Amino acid sequence: MRQQFEKMMIMVQQALPGSNVNNNGAQAIDPAVPANNQDIIILGGSNAPGVKGVSNTVEKYSIVEGKSSQLPGMNLARRVSASCVYNGSDSEAGTDSIEILKMNQHPLRWTMFDAKLPVKLSAHDVTVYQNKLYIIGGHNWNEDKSSDAIYELSLAPPYIVKLLARMPQPRRNHRAEIVNGKLFILGGSTTDKSKDATDSVVVYDFIKNEIKPCPSLPEPVSEMSSVTWGNMIIVVGGLHKNNQDLNDVIMYHIETGRSDRLPSLKHNRRGASAVTMHDVIVVLGGANDEEGNLNSVESFTMGDDQWKELPGMKEKKYYATAAENVDEIRESQDVINVKVDQIQENVDVMKQTQDVINVKVNKMKENVDEMKQTQAEMKADQMAFEAEVRNQFQRMTEMLNQLHGRNITNNAAQALDPPVPDNNQDIIILGGIYAPGLKSVSNTVEKFNIAKGKSIHLPKLNRPRAESASCVYNGDVIITGGFDGKAGTDSIEILKINQDPLRWMFDGKLPVKLSAHDVTVYQDKLYVMGGYNWNENKTNDQIYERSIIPPYTAKPLATMPQPTRYHRAEIVNGKLFTLGGTTTDLCKDAIDNVVVYDFIKNEFKSCRSLPKPVCDMSTVTWGNMIILIGGQDKNDQVLNDVYMYDTGAEQRQNMPPLIHKRTGSSAVIMHDVIVVLGGWNKEEGYLNSVESFTMGDDHWRELSGIKEKRYFANAVVEPRN
């Protein structure tokens, strides 16, 4: 966690010059908050359960003194409202009325604003941009439903209001922030229930008048609070779709869509209020199931490694709103005005520079065709060179084997001592089915050490998964799709092995909801093959290509010769081999097909078939070979067959059979040792047994079992950074 935060702070320092960053990446700020900007105004909210607990009280809280003073109460009691600061006033929006508090008038007093919201709203959000008030989403009391509207309200007479745009989906209890002149809308729920929370992020472009999707938040969340810091939106607390109160703090990068985790809050909080003052975030009130409505306050200085508890407010405030005092805002506006004047003075110079650039661009365009031709020739030469290198390497390996007298058996399997290096003996096993029935899908994860024959539990997946597919990329374990006991899912979870503490996080989605598919990583792309498409209720014949890095673009790459599920796919020598499987959910429709997809030519080619139709098997690769293990044939017989498929010569060779028959097992290869875990057979039922085979031996060896029985689970070798 600290290593990730240090990297993040270094990037922030580069983006915001002039920040003093010490050796651990924490930004040293002295003082953290200017003396003229240390007060927060907290408005309304619920101070107790029930409708009668809605408050009209207003406090001014000093974060330096840790004390609150009462300000004049509002005309109406308000909760789940929205507020903002405009031109030195604090405008409070609720029902369809708007109240305003002019901070420079004496005595202070809330007055009803002449304008009204276009409809009666709660659980919405508002923000001010270019002298306009923008109202986003919420619960529309006129129509008794969640709103998908973005309204624009002029803050000067005649207070014109208009419908500006409609969001892709209605949402309430969300957050909205203006960054770099664009309106970002994050999370929330489509109804008044947490189970309908969303992780979606969209951005509205005022100039183009269009809404575009952005990379999602790490998890569905509503009732959170948010602040902005530079090009970042910081999402604080909230309520997960499983109805759990959160203490998570997420930094969302608007330019890349990446989400980084900041240190967690001391208290779980939903419906809290938050402001940022210079580089200090202050979170006030809210509620959680353990403590009820809160009056507690905590702060976080950007660069620190923990939140700090501050003295509490006078009253408990849940679903209140908060705004910082406006003195510094006025000073910042003066600075902005000066910079705007300077920018306008430079416009003519920029236009002249643009003319020079246009001339150079035209010259560059003249050379494009020549560059493309040269690039094509270079790519052809590179492919020929890589092929020759592979051939030379294979011949060299054969010569070295002969020179060193390595023990090669008749089936070309190599006997090694020791078979597995000490630093690579751990296997991570994920999910699966442990007993009959739909409710027996597991979200548990264990790490199995083959030398010690022992398992330890790792953090659980966020959702149960069986018939999913997993892989390793860049030191991270990735699990995709699968069946959760109720339906298929398109979600992807990722476990960063080097983070502390370990935790599974949602990381994007598959193009469709899939189970019984397979995935593999090649050249920084995730390839998704076949499976059962829950969106269309049929077996999938598509290969999808999905970027592993933001913005996580996905596209259909190719159509397989026939739809396939419960198959296996492996990359060998830069080509994608797809083996066996079934065209339906029945073993009688199992196939013996082998096809290879050429990424460069974008075409499929049929290869020599497997010895017999098979599905539900597991596979590993060893050099140019794909080793197929167990499975079920089209007669519904569970197999202990193991054979090696030579992808170059398209030859098949039997290997020693498994000790146990296995279908739906998981397999990995560690150096020259194959390890097979779990599965199912008719005689023993669900399996937790483990067996291994060292290439060159004549039999499999029984190892100690894993903690839990696992059928249609996933397994990967623990990545080492």
Q: Domain holding 509: CATH number?
A: 2.120.10.80
User: What strand order describes the sheet that includes 594-598?
Assistant: 568-572, 575-579, 594-598, 603-606
Work out the number of other CB atoms within 10 angstroms of the CB of residue 382: 10
Residue 419 pLDDT grade (very low, low, confident, very high; cuts 50, 70, 90):
low
Q: How many domains does the chain have?
A: 2
Using DSSP, state whether 698 is helix, strand or coil: coil
**pTM over cut 0.75:** no
> In this structure, are 447 and 318 located in the same domain?
no
> In this structure, are 473 and 620 located in the same domain?
yes
* 343 assigned to some structural domain: no
> In this structure, are 83 and 222 located in the same domain?
yes
pLDDT at position 337 over 70:
no
* 349 assigned to some structural domain: no
Using CA atoms, how far apart are residues 407 and 670, in angstroms rounded to an integer?
Answer: 19
* 202 assigned to some structural domain: yes
* 19 assigned to some structural domain: no
> Which of 139-148, 222-231, 241-250, 414-423 bottoms out in mean pLDDT, i.e. has the lowest?
414-423
pLDDT at position 393 over 60:
no
Range 41-45 average pLDDT = 86
> In this structure, are 300 and 437 located in the same domain?
no
User: pLDDT (tens digit, 9 = 90+) per residue, 557-590?
Assistant: 999 999 999 999 999 999 999 999 999 999 999 9
* 461 assigned to some structural domain: yes
Of 703, 616, 700, residue with least CA distance to 666: 616
> In this structure, are 316 and 461 located in the same domain?
no
Residue 101 pLDDT grade (very low, low, confident, very high; cuts 50, 70, 90):
confident
Using CA atoms, how far apart are residues 705 and 687, in angstroms rounded to an integer?
Answer: 9
Work out the percent of the chain whose per-residue pLDDT is above 90.
62
Work out the number of other CB atoms within 10 angstroms of the CB of residue 112: 13
Using DSSP, state whether 92 is helix, strand or coil: strand
> Which of 53-62, 446-455, 470-479 bottoms out in mean pLDDT, i.e. has the lowest?
53-62
User: What strand order describes the sheet that includes 149-154?
Assistant: 125-129, 132-136, 149-154, 161-166
Place of tokens 């409505």: 293
Range 419-440 average pLDDT = 81
> In this structure, are 109 and 251 located in the same domain?
yes
Place of tokens 């569970």: 638
CA atoms within a 13 Å half-sphere pointing along the CA-CB vector of 424: 17
> In this structure, are 231 and 95 located in the same domain?
yes
* Residue where one domain finishes, among candidates 328, 362, 377: 328
* Residue where one domain finishes, among candidates 328, 359, 374: 328
pLDDT at position 495 over 90:
yes
pLDDT at position 146 over 90:
yes
* Alpha helices for 346-421 (secondary structure H): 347-366, 368-404
pLDDT at position 415 over 80:
no
* Element holding 232 (H helix, E strand): strand 232-236
Cβ-defined contacts of 9-13 (< 8 Å, 24+): 9/302, 9/303, 12/230, 12/232, 12/302
User: pLDDT (tens digit, 9 = 90+) per residue, 255-300?
Assistant: 999 999 999 999 999 999 999 988 899 999 999 999 999 999 999 9
Q: How many degrees, rounded to 5, is the angle at CA 431 between CA 426 and CA 432?
A: 115
Residue 74 pLDDT grade (very low, low, confident, very high; cuts 50, 70, 90):
confident
* Residue where one domain finishes, among candidates 328, 358, 387: 328
In total, the chain counts a number of residues equal to 721
* 122 assigned to some structural domain: yes
> In this structure, are 319 and 433 located in the same domain?
no
Q: What are the structure tokens assigned to 19, written together?
A: 């920040």
pLDDT confidence of residue 394: 56
Residue 417 pLDDT grade (very low, low, confident, very high; cuts 50, 70, 90):
very low
* 381 assigned to some structural domain: no
DSSP 553: -
> Which tops the pLDDT comparison, 481 or 334?
481
Domain region containing 324: 36-328
Range 11-36 average pLDDT = 39
pLDDT at position 68 over 60:
yes
Range 588-609 average pLDDT = 95
Residue 553 pLDDT grade (very low, low, confident, very high; cuts 50, 70, 90):
confident
> Which of 87-101, 378-392, 693-707 bottoms out in mean pLDDT, i.e. has the lowest?
87-101
Q: Which residues pair with 466 in a beta bridge?
A: 483
> In this structure, are 143 and 269 located in the same domain?
yes
* 137 assigned to some structural domain: yes
Q: How far is CA 55 from the centre of its chain?
A: 38
